[in-house]
Amino acid sequence: MDKNTFTGLFLIMIVLAGSFYFFKPSEAEMKKERERISIDSASKAGVKHAPAALAENAPAPQLDSAALKGPFGTSISGTATTSVLENEALKLTFTNKGGKIKAVEVKGEKTYLDKPVVLFDGDENIFGLTLNVGGKLVKTNDLYFTATKTANAMVMRANYSADKYIEFVYDLQPKSHNVGFNINLKGMNQVIQRDSISLDWETVLLQQEKSLKNEQQYSAPYYKYADKNPDHLSIAKDETENLSKAKIEWIAFKQHFFSAVLIPADPFNKVNLAVRILTEPGHVKGYAAKVNLPFNQLDAQNYKMKFYFGTNQFKVLKAQGQEIEKLVEMGYWPLKYINRFVVLPVFNFLESFGWNYGLIILVLTIALKVVLSPLTYKSYISMAKMRILKPEMDEIKAKVGEDNATLLQQEYLKLYKQVGVNPLGGCLPMLLQLPIVMAFFFFFPNLFELRGQSFLWMHDLSTYDDFIKFGFTIPFIGDHLSLMCVLMTISTLIYTYFNNQVSGATGQMKYIGYIMPVVFLGVLNSYPAGLNYYYFLANMLTFGQQFLIKSMVNDEKIHNILKENKKKPEEQKKKSKFQTRLDDYMRQQQQVKTQEKKNK
C-alpha cells in the first residue's frame, strides 16, 4: 500500500468516527424507539406480549401514553401475580395473566407420593376466550387482568376502554366442590365481530396414582349430549371429535379418581374435544376443548357456567345431577346394572357401619355367596350325577367306538334321557354367576372409596400391592409381583383341582382348567389389590361351600335315584325343556339319515 492510499483511508476513518459521535441519537430518542418496537411486536402477535414479557413475573415493557389509551392498552402487558380463594374442599390459585384458575388442589386427598392432589397447575393450563376484535384475534389467556377478591368470589377484569371490558367472575361457596363461573362482556358487542366466540380450555393431567399406565387406562375426556347417555373419547389413542349432533350439557376432563367438569347454564351448541397420550414422566394425558359460544352484537353478553372439581365418588357425582355420576365406569350391559343397583347399594350399606374396607369386602363376598348358594348346590349335584354316570358312558364308548361321533353322541343323549340328567346342569348355574364375577372386575378398579385404604400388608386397596419389586420388567408379569394376586392364583388352582374331582373330568378337560389361573396371574398382577382380594375370598368360600355340600350329599343315594328314573316308563317321566329339545334333535337326525338312504 503506497503513502497516498494509506493517507486517504485514514482520513475516511476519521470522518466516520466523527459522524458517529456528533450525530448519534439522544438517550430519549433511543428509549422512544424501543417502546415503538415493543408495541409493534405485541400487535403482530395478536395482542401477545413481547418475548421478554412472556415469562412469569417478567417486568412489563414500557408503553407510551398512546398505546395505554388504545384497545386493551392497560392489559397488553403486566406482571403475573397470583391470589388464592379456598374453602374446606378446594384451594384455587388464580393468576391475573389470563384471569384464570392456575391451579386446583383437592383438599384432604394425597397422591401416591403423599403430596397434595393438584388437578392441574402452571402454564400448561390454558383457559380463556378467543375474540375477533377489529379483524385481529385476541386471546384473553394472554391479557393481564385486574383481580378483585371478596370473601367467596374472585373478579378478574380486562378493560378494553373506559366503558368496555371483559370480566370473569368466580364464586366458591363454603364446603362446596362447585365453582360458579360467569363471563360478562360489558360493551364488547360494539367491538367484537362475527356471531360467535370461542372458549378454549386446555390442560395436562398430572399423575396422582402409583401406576401411570393404569391411570391412563381410566382417564378420558367425557361429554353428554342432551337426552343421551354420557360418552367419552378414546382411552388408548389420540383422538379429536367435533361434537355438534345435539346440545351438549357438560364436558369433563376425567382422571382415574378425580375430575374437572364444566357445566353451562345453557347447553353448548358445538364443542371440539381432543385427547393426547403423553409420554413425559408424571403426565397422564393432555386434554383440549374449544367451545363455540353464540354472540349477539346487539346487546351485552353474559354466559353462566359452573365447574366441578373433585373426586369421582359415585354418590358425590350423582348429587351434581345431569348423570355426571356416569363418569364412574360400572361396566357394560348388564354388568353396569348389577353394579349400580345391587353391588353398590350393598357396599354403601356395609360402609355405613364404619368398618375397615378389607372387612367390608369380606362381608360383601360372604353375602353374595349366600345368595348364590342355591346355584352352587345345583351345579354341584349336576356334576355329581355326571360323575356317577361316567362308568356307563365309558361302556357305551367302548361298545360304539370313538370313530362314529354322531352315534356315540346319540347314545349318550339316550342315557341322559333315561336317567333324567341334564348334561349342562353343572354349567348353567356357573354361567348365571359369571356376570356377577365380571361385574366386580369393573367395580373395584373404579371404586374411589378404596383409594388409600389399607388392609393387612396392602397399603392401598385401589392399586396393586408390589410385595416383590424386581427392579426390571418381566414380559407378561411386569416389574413387580403382587402377593394377593399370587394367593388368588393359588386359590384358583386349588378350586380347579377340587372341581375336577367333583365333575370327574379326564383327558384334556382335566388340564385346561389349570391354564386360566396362570393367565390371570399375568393379567391381574397390576390390578387393584381389592379386586384380587375379592377373587381370593370368592374362591375360598366356593371351595368351602362345595366341601360342605359334599359332606351332605350321598353319591350312592344319587345313583339309586338315577337307577329308579331309568326303570320308569317313558310316559311317567317328566321331561324338562332340555330333554324335549334333545328328543326333537334326535328325531331330526333320524329323519335326515332316513332321507339320505332314500336318495341313495
For residue 123, give every residue at least 6 positions away whose Cβ sits within 8 Å of its Cβ, in sequence order, or none: 56
Q: How far apart are CA 443 and CA 336, in angstroms?
A: 9
Mean pLDDT, to the nearest integer, of 49-65? 39
- Would you say 259 and 117 are in contact if contact means Cβ atoms under 8 Å apart? no
Mean pLDDT, to the nearest integer, of 335-351? 94
Mean pLDDT, to the nearest integer, of 85-106? 96
Mean pLDDT, to the nearest integer, of 209-217? 93
Give the phi and the psi of residue 240 in degrees, each rounded to 5.
-130, 135
Assess whether pLDDT exceeds 70 at residue 384: yes
pLDDT number for residue 409: 79
C-beta neighbour count of 119 within 10 angstroms: 22
Assess whether pLDDT exceeds 80 at residue 470: yes
Mean pLDDT, to the nearest integer, of 141-164? 92
Give the CA count within 13 Å in the CB-facing half-sphere of 417: 20
Lowest-pLDDT range of 34-43, 234-243, 283-292: 34-43
In terms of average pLDDT, the best of 13-17, 162-166, 246-250, 393-397 is: 246-250
pLDDT number for residue 594: 63
| DSSP conformation class of 339 | I
Per-residue CA distances from 43 to 40, 51, 138 (Å): 5, 13, 10
pLDDT number for residue 8: 44
pLDDT number for residue 112: 94
**Grid cell in block for residue 157:** 377484569
Q: Which CATH class is domain 80-328?
A: mainly beta
Mean pLDDT, to the nearest integer, of 10-19? 44
548-568, pLDDT tens digit by residue?
888 887 778 887 777 777 776
Lowest-pLDDT range of 54-58, 194-198, 285-289: 54-58
Mean pLDDT, to the nearest integer, of 407-422? 80
pLDDT number for residue 162: 82
* Cα dihedral 436→439→444→446 (10° resolution): -160
Q: pLDDT band at 383, cuts 50/70/90?
A: confident
In terms of average pLDDT, the best of 13-17, 225-229, 499-503, 561-565 is: 225-229
pLDDT number for residue 23: 43
Q: Across all residues in the chain, what is the average pLDDT?
A: 83
Q: Which residue has the higher pLDDT, 130 or 396?
A: 130
Domain ranges (residues) in the chain: 80-328, 340-563
**Of residues 295, 304, 317, 128, the one with CA closest to residue 222:** 317
pLDDT number for residue 60: 43
Q: pLDDT band at 31, cuts 50/70/90?
A: very low
Assess whether pLDDT exceeds 70 at residue 534: yes
Q: How far apart are CA 364 and CA 535, in angstroms?
A: 12
pLDDT number for residue 221: 97
Q: How far apart are CA 66 and CA 35, in angstroms?
A: 11
Assess whether pLDDT exceeds 80 at residue 509: no
pLDDT number for residue 451: 96
pLDDT number for residue 518: 87
Q: pLDDT band at 598, cuts 50/70/90?
A: low
Give the phi and the psi of residue 169 in degrees, each rounded to 5.
-115, 120
pLDDT number for residue 59: 44
Residue 275's SS3 state is strand
Burial group, residue 548, by CB count within 10 angstroms (0-12, 13-18, 19+): middle
Lowest-pLDDT range of 198-212, 255-269, 583-597: 583-597
The percentage of the chain sitting over the pLDDT mark of 90, rounded to a whole number, equals 51
Lowest-pLDDT range of 142-156, 426-440, 466-480: 426-440
pLDDT number for residue 573: 53
Assess whether pLDDT exceeds 90 at residue 1: no
The percentage of the chain sitting over the pLDDT mark of 70, rounded to a whole number, equals 81
Assess whether pLDDT exceeds 70 at residue 368: yes
Pairing of strands 116-118, 178-186: unpaired
Q: pLDDT band at 590, cuts 50/70/90?
A: low
598 conformational bin, left if phi > 0, alpha if psi -120 to 50, beta if neither: alpha
**Grid cell in block for residue 496:** 380347579
Q: pLDDT band at 585, cuts 50/70/90?
A: low
- What is the arrangement of strands in the sheet containing 153-161, beginning at the earlier edge strand? 146-149, 153-161, 164-172, 178-186, 301-311, 258-264, 248-254, 220-225, 231-232
Q: pLDDT band at 83, cuts 50/70/90?
A: very high
Per-position b or e across 288-308, b if 16+ CB within 10 A of its CB: bbbbbbebeeeeebebebbbb
Lowest-pLDDT range of 17-21, 34-38, 116-120, 522-526: 34-38
pLDDT number for residue 3: 43
* Cα dihedral 55→58→60→61 (10° resolution): -70
- Would you say 310 and 177 are in contact if contact means Cβ atoms under 8 Å apart? yes
Record the pTM.
Answer: 0.78
